[in-house]
Amino acid sequence: MAFFSETLLLFIAGLFGGVMNALAGGGSGVTFAALIFTGMPPIIANATNTFAATLGYITGAFGYRKHVYQVRGPLIWQLPIVFIGGLIGGWMLLQTEAHVFEAAVPWLFLFATTLFMLGNRLQQWASQMDARHITIVGGVALFATCVYGGYFNGGFGILTLAALSLAGYTAVRAMNGVKLIFATVSSVGALILFIRADAIDYLGGLAVMAGIGIGSYGAARLTDYVSDENVRRASLLVCFGVTIYAFWRYYLG
């Protein structure tokens, strides 16, 4: 009975998390919290969360395919940077002691949320740069973001949107689609190391993965009927909620 209830909880968390990730980000915080709730150690929960989220990234990106096609050019040089960043981030996670990682989680969420709030200013700053500077600044921002994503999956989507603003992207739906492609490639880099280190709980991960896959694709298709501003407002609300919960869970709970 306990196994069934935990599996159902993880599936529902994945469903909600997939919807959030497809809209903008923050859903990995929900699924990470659910995995922790079932008793997983933080580092195992984080690696499992990365494993589970990857299918959602793929299905969500497929839902945004027509928007991604419009901005496909820079992906040729950006994807190798993203993969290497995820690989380095995954290696860093496996070198971190559990209590250090657990204490850092709320601050990682706060950092990602703050950058997402500054998204419009970052876009304004990027609009004042020439193509050469956008390429350099955007490449560095994407690399740093994917190192973060390989290290900690929570808030990764939020942080990626901020990095995409610096890289010169402006259309919200295209940014969401590119974000999911980058998340897929970065996660694959990290997963190579997580699988070798036997750091994934596959049963829990598959339950979350099923929910994420359904939620991500459905939400990605839904955004064609929702304004960019409403998507941003909903995303900011999710960001605040996940960050507050993280501080309560790790410092007050």
Q: What is the pLDDT along the chain (253 residues), one digit of tens a residue?
A: 566 788 899 999 988 888 776 665 667 778 888 898 888 888 999 999 999 988 777 877 887 788 777 777 777 888 899 999 999 999 999 999 888 888 888 888 788 778 777 766 665 665 566 656 667 777 788 899 899 889 987 777 777 877 787 777 777 778 878 888 888 999 999 999 999 999 999 999 999 999 988 887 777 666 666 666 676 677 677 778 778 877 887 777 6
Rounded distance, CA 242 to CA 85, Å? 24
Number of domains in the chain: 1
23: domain range? Answer: 2-252
Question: Which amino acid appears at position 96 of this protein?
Answer: T
Question: Which amino acid appears at position 88 of this protein?
Answer: I
Nearest to 44 by CA among 188, 204, 180, 184: 204
Rounded distance, CA 201 to CA 243, Å? 25
pTM given for the model: 0.79
Cβ proximity of 205 and 6 under 8 Å: no
Rounded distance, CA 202 to CA 89, Å? 21
Residue 113 is given by DSSP the state H
State how far Cα 26 lies from the chain centre: 7
Rounded distance, CA 31 to CA 227, Å? 26
